[in-house]
Chain A
Amino acid sequence: MSNGQIVVSDLTKRYKNVTAVDHLSFVVEPGRVTGFLGPNGAGKTTTLRMILNLVTPSSGSATISGMRYSDAPEPLRLAGAILEASAAHKGRTARNHLRIVAAAAGIPATQVDKMLELVGLTPAAKRKFRGYSLGMKQRLGIAQAMLGDPQVLILDEPANGLDPEGIRWMRGLLQGLAQQGRTVLVSSHLLSEMEILADDVVIIAAGKLVTQGPVEQIVGAGTSAPRTRVRTPNLQELVTAVRTAGATIEPNGNDSHVVTGLDAPAVGRLALEGRIELHELVNERPDLEHVFLELTQGRAAIR
């Protein structure tokens, strides 16, 4: 049963004043990077912690490779995780921190040095955690998550606080791991990042599933009508032509306009026929950001 699937079924977590996760079900497949998206307070962290047996569900269950995390004979070989609060004792060195985790999991100490090498922390391995930058802490988190060479990786907002260089490094690493056939589940409230990184997305809001599927599919399904951005000195003529064709046009700032209901070739043809001069003609690619805002509208409120 080492298929690497994460299966969340009907997972619910009720706190005193809020249902943080509300009958949530989804499946995460191996060999792909899955983005776990939702506005702040959507219940991402709570869900990930329930998958890892750190938080007890009020009802429902979650399995990794068909078993609950708490039943795994070798938990760190089943899954590695970087959670928001990934941290070490301030007065302890990175290497000792990893040795402690490795000792508990029966992982040889040589693996500790290998992982420090992997994340580029070898020069700082014997420095105390107190002096670590955020980027170094994230790297240590990855080294810790990779200690057991896990089939599944779970990361909670790993891009938080990373500089662009660090984000690029992280992206390469995660995509590489997915290519090796591992399951990678990454939560984020930042969509732009996910669109580049993820193959699949699971979108939640207010603890409930909004949608799930491959990124292209979600992005494609999000908008019904094609949108085209145009710039023209002959605005009046274009507006008339577009309206005649049964589409709408609205200003878009920067003296450009967006035509909804026609794609770029159609608008180009209209302009040619009407001898309308165009300075810009661009297909507005519907992005995850739009879809996300559309789907989670009104549910992003602080709960």
Chain B
Amino acid sequence: MTRLIRSELLKLRTTNMWWIFLLASLVFTGLAVWINIEQADQDLTNHYDQYNQTDGTPPGMTEEQRAEFEASQQQFRQEEAARVAKAQSALGLAKAAANIYTSGQFFGLLLVMLLAILVITNEFYHQTATATFLATPKRTKVITAKLITASLVGVLFWVITTAISVTVGALYFGAKGLGNSFGHWTAQQALLLNLLVYVLWAIFGIGIGVLLRSQIGATITAAVLYTAGTWAALIVLQLIYSLVIKEDWVMESAVYIPPLASMHVVGGLDAMIGGDVDLPPRWAGAVVLIAWAVVLGTVGTLITRKRDIA
């Protein structure tokens, strides 16, 4: 098996594909870290303090208006204090850290999936499947090697994106004088589950590649479903929820859509769906993804074993 994995890694290294994907991943991660830090900064900053450095009220107000204004200011101050206290609590910071440290997940997963799809479809597109299966006629071994190789790619992308977002994130927290939450389970868990998710998406890619052998067909279908399909599904759920069935399970079912399950696993889905729905626990997202990976991996292996290479 090590032979085959070495061969598969060599296949990846000997074309231009990998560094294009790597470059894309760096760009997307950089952007995502920046956006996530901006957002965290909004959450962690006390806006009352920010905008009311100088005391005093605007001139030219009646006594009544002044009282009203001060009451509202007072309320704003209290709300901000409470909100910021919550955001800056250990748990609040850990949640913010989890979000920043898993930056770039959405596009990272897409890239890993596409790369894994290419691991399969390249063999058919360039007709190298013949050479591959002549060297190793036991096809289960070949597909296993591809699953492992794609998983290694997933790990690599996780390492790179995580290195960037954790470094930049920790610098930000440091600059703010806030803890970086490295020791907090919420942040640690997000990082580890993110690793799991990267590996699972690599496996999805292999399965999709086998199912939709056509290079262009498979990559475009997967990319469109992943991006537009996810948003469309979310919008449909939102519409059903607000117009037809006003029950929580409608929004909760978002967890069964793989890209959303992936966000949920690292805690990013609550924010997207909006606060008042109680989503299933995070591990449920992981279970959903593992189930998808098992199904796609198994189907991919079975099809590869039977397929005629002509």
List the interface of chain A (C-beta within 8 A of B): 45-46, 49, 52-56, 69-70, 72, 75-76, 81, 83, 85-93, 96-97, 99-101, 103-106, 144
The minimal Cβ–Cβ distance linking B122 to chain A, given in whole angstroms, is 7
Q: Is B39 located at the chain interface by the 8 A CB criterion?
A: no
- On whether the beta carbons of A72 and B306 are closer than 8 Å, the reply is no
Given contacts A75-B137, A92-B14, 10 further A-B contacts (CB under 8 A): A45-B310, A46-B310, A53-B133, A54-B310, A70-B137, A88-B126, A93-B14, A100-B14, A101-B131, A103-B6
Contact with A along B8-49 (1 / 0, CB 8 A): 001100111100000000000000000000000000000000
Contact A81 B126 (CB under 8 A): no
> Least Cβ distance of A277 to chain B in Å?
60
Give complex CA distance A69, B248 in Å.
57
B10 touches A75 (CB 8 A): no
Which B residues fall within an 8 A CB radius of A? Answer: 3-4, 6-7, 10-11, 14-17, 122, 126-128, 130-138, 306, 308-310
Among A69, A88, A99, A106, contact of B10 (Cβ-Cβ < 8 Å): A99
Hey, which chain B residues are within 8 Å of A87, CB to CB?
Answer: 126-128, 130-131
CB distance from A140 to the nearest CB of B (A): 10
Chain B contact residues: over half helix, strand or loop, or mixed?
helix
Q: Which residues on B sit within 8 Å (CB–CB) of A90?
A: 126
Q: Is the CB of B308 within 8 A of A56?
A: yes
Kindly provide the distance from the CB of B107 to the nearest chain A CB, expressed in whole angstroms: 24
Contact A49 to B310, CB < 8 A, known contacts A83-B130, A90-B126, A103-B7: yes
Q: Are B3 and A103 in contact (CB under 8 A)?
A: yes
The number of inter-chain residue pairs (CB within 8 angstroms) is 88
A70 to B122, alpha carbons, bound, how many Å? 23
Q: Which one of A55, A81, A91 lies within 8 Å of B134 (CB-CB)?
A: A81
- Which residues of chain B are within 8 angstroms of A93 by Cβ–Cβ distance? 14
Given A103-B3, A103-B7, A104-B135, the answer on whether A89 and B308 have CB atoms closer than 8 Å is no
Q: Which residues of B contact A85 (CB under 8 A)?
A: 127, 130, 310
Chain B residues with CB under 8 Å of A88's CB are 126, 128, 131
Tell whether, in the assembled complex, residue B133 and residue A96 are in contact, meaning their CB atoms are under 8 Å apart. Answer: no
Closest to B142 in A: A104
* CA–CA, A199 and B252, complex, Å: 73
Q: How far is the CB of A112 from chain B (nearest CB, A)?
A: 12
Instruction: Give min CB distance, B159 to chain A, whole Å.
Output: 24
> A104 to B122, Cβ gap below 8 A?
no
Contact A105 B3 (CB under 8 A): yes
Asked, given contacts A91-B15, A103-B7, whether A75 binds B135 with beta carbons under 8 Å apart, the answer is: yes
- Complex CA–CA separation, A75 to B138 (angstroms): 10
Asked if B137 and A72 sit within 8 Å, CB to CB, the answer is yes
Known A54-B130, A89-B126, A90-B126; contact A101-B135, beta-carbon cutoff 8 A? yes
Contact A55 B309 (CB under 8 A): yes
CB pair A55–B308 under 8 Å, yes or no, is yes
Given contacts A56-B308, A89-B122, contact A104 B136 (CB under 8 A): yes
A-B contact pairs, 27 of them (CB 8 A): A49-B309, A54-B130, A54-B310, A55-B309, A70-B137, A72-B137, A75-B134, A75-B135, A75-B136, A76-B134, A81-B134, A83-B130, A85-B127, A87-B128, A89-B15, A91-B15, A93-B14, A96-B10, A99-B10, A100-B131, A101-B131, A103-B3, A103-B10, A104-B3, A104-B132, A104-B135, A105-B136
Instruction: Please give, as numbers and ranges, the residues of chain B lying within 8 Å of A105 by CB-CB distance.
Output: 3, 135-136
> Chain A residues near B133 (CB, 8 Å)?
53-54
Bound CA span A85–B133, Å: 13
Contact assessment for A56 and B134 in the assembled complex, using a CB-CB cutoff below 8 Å: no
Task: Identify which of B10, B132, B135 gathers the most chain A CB atoms within 10 Å of its CB.
Answer: B135
Task: Check B7 against A55 for contact (C-beta < 8 Å).
Answer: no
Q: A20 to chain B: closest CB distance in Å?
A: 10
Smallest Cβ distance from B4 to chain A, in angstroms? 6
> How far, in Å, is A190 (CB) from chain B's closest CB?
22
